[in-house]
Structure 1
Amino acid sequence: MKVCTDACVLGAYANVAGDRILDIGTGTGLLALMAAQRNAEASIDAVEIDANAFEQATGNVTASPFADRVQLWKGRIQEFSGNGTLFDRILTNPPFYTNHLRSPDVAVNRALHTDELPVEKLITAVSRLLQPDGQWWVLLPPYETLKLTEMAQKASLYPFQQLALKHHANKPVFRFITGFSYQKNSLSEETLDIYETDGRTYTTAFRDLLRDFYLIF
């Protein structure tokens, strides 16, 4: 599976403080492994429904220095109990296409389309698994972020921090990384340009954020 730049930004930007972290829809295991690298004390649970992705994540976790702290679970988040544990931090890079041309690849559809995990069920799962003082960090395009925020607030989950991602300064925002909690606070907003306006040179801010993860820096 491909590792997307925006997912790497989520893994580097989200607050991963706490003892227990949950990665919903781990895919390759990227977010779980980044959380383990950033927080040396945390235990991380990572849930994945797709068999091939789960197998790949298992290989990646096993080959990493963090295998003793990352537990992988195959199945739907709706059926994940966490053994009764509530999590300090939840990370999610969810599918977001609803009415969009389908791929002939079932795994691609699961990764990109909301059929397997509608937003309502995602919010219900997060509400069930998040500590009262915990944080949920999610990556979505602008329109989907707006709709998710509207629905999350009905479940008493409120945005408190948001990073707008742009390919470069002259391009529109293409993703938002949003932190939610049960506390109502004013929203802190930031913007990150991945490239300089030439579209090829990484910005200093991007380099600084990803330096511990990108071997090219």
Structure 2
Amino acid sequence: MPNPYFRFKQFTIHQDRCAMKVTTDACLFGAWVAARIPEKASSVLDVGAGTGLLTLMIAQTGNRLIDAVEIQEADYQQAAENIGQTAWHASIRLMRGDVLDVVFQKKYDVIVSNPPFYERDLKGGEQPKNIAHHSEALSLGELLSFIRKQLVSGGSFFLLLPARREAELLRLLEPLGLHIHHCCYVQQTEKHAPFRIMVAGAFEKKEHKEEGRILIRNRNEYTPEFKTLLQPYYLHL
């Protein structure tokens, strides 16, 4: 059974009522995004807030206004509690609803999402987990169209996806005029194939897409690259 809470250096994530729990790859993504957000970016939107983890990791690194949207009531309530106990609560606005139905009053410098991973996959019997893990409420195509609509012209977007969906992502991005600037492949160890991709993109098309990789572990220890990214957050780093 997952731990009911996850304590970081500057905040605590309670997750006993959330369908999507704290995972190592989600923490890595949050740290990777926070390190890459341009300093001039003043407005951020987190699509699918879940526990509030990604929102809080970004909030820790800069003085920004952050909006976050969560569709599920239980997750929304717990994220609100997690955010409300931090020093950054006044700069975060958490909204309950479907991003496709919410009326936004502005466009954003940065849009980030750790979206539902699976489409057309076998589902379990728990509906909240199905919504969190499968694209029942928000498909990847819908998410990318939303990003195109709500991102400012010079803005950036960040996504975490299963590595096997890279070709699908590229196919969907092209007609929307969105382009990948950096793709980082995440591997559990050197012996494992990539299981996640962390993507940074924008409207502007670059001649050469940057590529990188991060190994989470080397034998039984976190790798130096992983430690460097997570050191500001993990208690024991």
Within the candidate set 180, 204, 208, 2:228 is matched to 208
Q: Displacement of 1:58 after TM fit? A: 0.3
- Trace 1:18-33 onto structure 2 (pairs within 5 A): 18-33=41-56
Within the candidate set 127, 146, 162, 2:183 is matched to 162
Q: Does 1:122 align with 2:135?
A: no
**Cross-structure match for 1:77:** 99
Would the aligned equivalents of 1:16 and 1:38 in 2 still touch at CA under 8 Å? no
**Cross-structure match for 2:31:** 12
Q: Displacement of 1:80 after TM fit? A: 2.3
Unaligned runs of 5+ in 1: none
Q: Displacement of 1:171 after TM fit? A: 0.7
Q: Displacement of 1:65 after TM fit? A: 1.1
State the percentage of identical aligned residues: 30
- Alignment: residue pair count: 213
> 1: CA distance between counterparts of 2:163 and 2:174?
17
> 2: CA distance between counterparts of 1:101 and 1:202?
32
Within the candidate set 25, 29, 43, 2:65 is matched to 43
Within the candidate set 131, 138, 145, 1:110 is matched to 131
**What's the TM-score, normalizing by structure 1?**
0.95
What letter matches 1:22 in structure 2?
A: L
Q: Find runs of 4+ consecutive structure 1 residues off by over 6 angstroms.
A: none
Unaligned runs of 5+ in 2: 1-17
Would the aligned equivalents of 2:187 and 2:193 in 1 still touch at CA under 8 Å? yes
**Cross-structure match for 1:145:** 166
**Cross-structure match for 2:88:** 66
Q: Which moved more, 1:21-30 or 1:90-99?
A: 90-99
Would the aligned equivalents of 2:164 and 2:195 in 1 still touch at CA under 8 Å? no
**What's the TM-score, normalizing by structure 2?**
0.87
What letter matches 1:37 in structure 2?
A: Q
Within the candidate set 71, 87, 105, 2:108 is matched to 87
